[in-house]
Amino acid sequence: MFKTDIYINRRNVLRNLVPSGVVLFLGHTESPVNYAGNTYRFRQDSNFLYFFGLNLPHLAGVIDVEEGTDCIYADEPDIEDIIWTGNLPSMEQIAAQAGINSVSPYRDLRIKLLSAIRKGRKIHFTPPYRGDSKIILSELLGIRIGELGNYSSKVLIKAIVQLRSEKEPCEIEEIERACDTGYEMHTLAMRLCKPGIFEYQITGAMEGVAGAANGMPSFPSIQSQNSEILHNHNHNNILRSGKMLVTDAGAETYMGYASDFTRTIPVDGKFTARQLDIYNIVLEANNLAQEISKPGEFYYNVHIAAAKIIAEGLKSVGLMKGDVEDAVRCGAHALFFPHGLGHMMGLDVHDMENIGEKYVGYDDEIQRSSQFGTANLRLGRKLKKNFVLTVEPGIYFIPALIAKWKSEKINSSFINFQKVGEYIDFGGIRLEDNIVITDEGCRRLGKRRIPITQEEVEEEMSK
C-alpha cells in the first residue's frame, strides 16, 4: 500500500467533488475457476484499490458525504479462516492502514444503505461489471440487475475520472516498475524467439517474469506469428521461418499498476527488406506521436498525425495513392490501421474502462468519431500533465478486411488493391510504448526503451 495519507487525501478530494449522498465502493469477492474452493488469483476492484488500498476479498467501503465519515464493512476472520490461512490482523488494524477507524460487519451495509434510501439520500456507485458484484449490489439496493447501469452515478464517474486521470508521483513510480518488468518480459521473448518452437513456450516464460517480479501479466498476453490478428490469445503455433511474431504484453505490479508494450520481431532474427519497409513506417508513427504529445494537445490530433505518417509511408511503397490529407480524412488508412493510437493506463491496463470510455477518453470538448478505425480510438481528449497513456500505431494486412474493401470498392481511390494483394500473407506490425505527459511534452516510461530499431531488435535476438 501507499502511505495512509494518500488514501485519506483521495477520499477528501472525492468528497469535494460529490456534493451529497453516500458513496459506495464494493470490493471484489473471490472468483472460482472450476469449484468454489479453487479460485483465480484475487484481483481487487481498481476503484476500491484507489480509494482504500485494501487488497482483500469481500470488503465494502462507504463514504458518507454529509456525515464526513468513511467506513469499511467487513467480517472478522473466524477460527475456520485462521486454520486455513493463518493469523490475520484484525479488520480494525487493516482498515487503519487506509486511515479508516470505523469498521462494521458486512451485514450492516444493507442497514446503512436502506436507512439512507429511506431518507431520500442518493447512493452513488459505479457501473458493476462482474457477475457477483451485480448480484450483491442488486440485493443491497433492490435494483434489478439489468437496470443497475442506469442507476450508476455520473457525478461519481466524472469525479473518479478527474482524480485517477492525473497520476500522482507515487503512482508514476509504480507504473515505471511495471514498465521495467515489461522490458524484461519483451527482451526475454526476443531472445527465445526462433523457428521451430511453440508460441506458448515464449508466452509461458515471458509471463513467468511478471510473476517473478511479484506481480502478474496486466492482461492475457497477445502473442502470435499471425501478427495481423489484433488480439490473439491462441499460442499453439510452431514459429515458422519468414513470419513475424507480435508480442503485446505487460506486467501488473503487486500494487495493481500496469504496463502495456508491443513489439513485432522477425522469427528468423533478421528483418527482410520488405518487412523493414513497413516496420519503419510504424516506428516513424510511434516516434512522431511521442514527439508531439504534450499538455493541451488533443490525443485525437496525435492519432490523426500518426495516421498521416502511415498513409504517407504506405503511399511511398505503392500501397496507397492520392492525396494523403484526403485519404486520412476519408479514413482510408484504417484498412491498415483499424484501431486507435492509444489509451489511458494506470490501475487498469485500459484505465477506468469499466466506468465508461466516453468519460475517460472524451469530454464536452470532443466526442468519439464514428468513422471506421478512428471510432476505436479510446482516448481523444486534450492531454494534461501526468496523464499516463500508450502510443501504439500499427499496420496490418487483414485478408478478410482487404477482401471486403476491395469487393465493395471502399476508398478505392486511395488504395492500390493490386499491390495490396502482394502483401496478403505479410501479417502485421504494432509498436507500443508507454508515456507520461510532462510540463512541455512527454516522457517514455521505464528505465530503458525496449529494443525497437532494426539494429536493437536484431542484436537482442542474437543473444
Q: Give the residue with the Cβ less far from ligand GLY, 176 or 260.
A: 260
The residue type found at 459 is E
Q: Give the residue with the Cβ less far from ligand GLY, 327 or 391.
A: 391
Q: Count CA atoms closer than 13 A to 168's CA, side-chain side.
A: 13
CB of 257 to ligand GLY, least distance (A): 15
The residue type found at 402 is I
CB-based burial label for 225 (10 Å; 0-12, 13-18, 19+): buried
CB of 365 to ligand GLY, least distance (A): 24
> Interface residues for ligand GLY in 270-329 (CB under 6 A)?
none
What is the helix (H) or strand (E) element at residue 288, kind and residue range? helix 273-292
User: Per CB under 5 A, does 223 bind Mn ion?
Assistant: no
Per-residue DSSP letters for 299-354? HHHHHHHHHHHHHHHHHHTTSB-S-HHHHHHTTGGGGT--S-S--B-SSSSSTTGG
> Interface residues for ligand GLY in 347-366 (CB under 6 A)?
349
The residue type found at 76 is E
- Write out the three cell numbers for 298: 488533443
Binding residue for Mn ion (CB under 5 A) from 171, 180, 248, 433? 248
The residue type found at 65 is V
Q: Choose among ligand GLY, Mn ion, none what residue 219 binds, the Cβ cut-off being 5 to 8 Å by kind.
A: ligand GLY
Q: What does the alpha-carbon distance between residue 345 and residue 442 come to, in Å, rounded to a whole number?
A: 14
Q: Give the residue with the Cβ less far from ligand GLY, 26 or 349.
A: 349
Q: What does the alpha-carbon distance between residue 341 and residue 353 come to, in Å, rounded to a whole number?
A: 16
Stretch that binds Mn ion, among 42-50, 71-79, 305-313, 390-398 (CB under 5 A): 390-398
Q: Give the residue with the Cβ less far from ligand GLY, 252 or 312.
A: 252
Longest Cα separation, the chain: 74
Q: What does the alpha-carbon distance between residue 205 and residue 92 come to, in Å, rounded to a whole number?
A: 40
User: Per CB under 6 A, does 176 bind ligand GLY?
Assistant: no
> Interface residues for ligand GLY in 423-462 (CB under 6 A)?
432
Per-residue DSSP letters for 17-28? HS-SSEEEEEPP
Q: Give the residue with the Cβ less far from ligand GLY, 312 or 392.
A: 392
Q: Choose among ligand GLY, Mn ion, none what residue 199 binds, the Cβ cut-off being 5 to 8 Å by kind.
A: none
Q: What does the alpha-carbon distance between residue 17 and residue 260 come to, in Å, rounded to a whole number?
A: 31
CB of 425 to Mn ion, least distance (A): 24
User: Per CB under 6 A, does 260 bind ligand GLY?
Assistant: yes
User: Per CB under 6 A, does 219 bind ligand GLY?
Assistant: yes
User: Per CB under 6 A, does 252 bind ligand GLY?
Assistant: no
Q: Give the residue with the Cβ less far from ligand GLY, 27 or 340.
A: 340
Q: Choose among Mn ion, ligand GLY, none what residue 224 binds, the Cβ cut-off being 5 to 8 Å by kind.
A: none
Contact residues for Mn ion (CB under 5 A)?
Answer: 248, 260, 390, 432
Contact residues for ligand GLY (CB under 6 A)?
Answer: 219, 248, 260, 343, 349, 392, 432
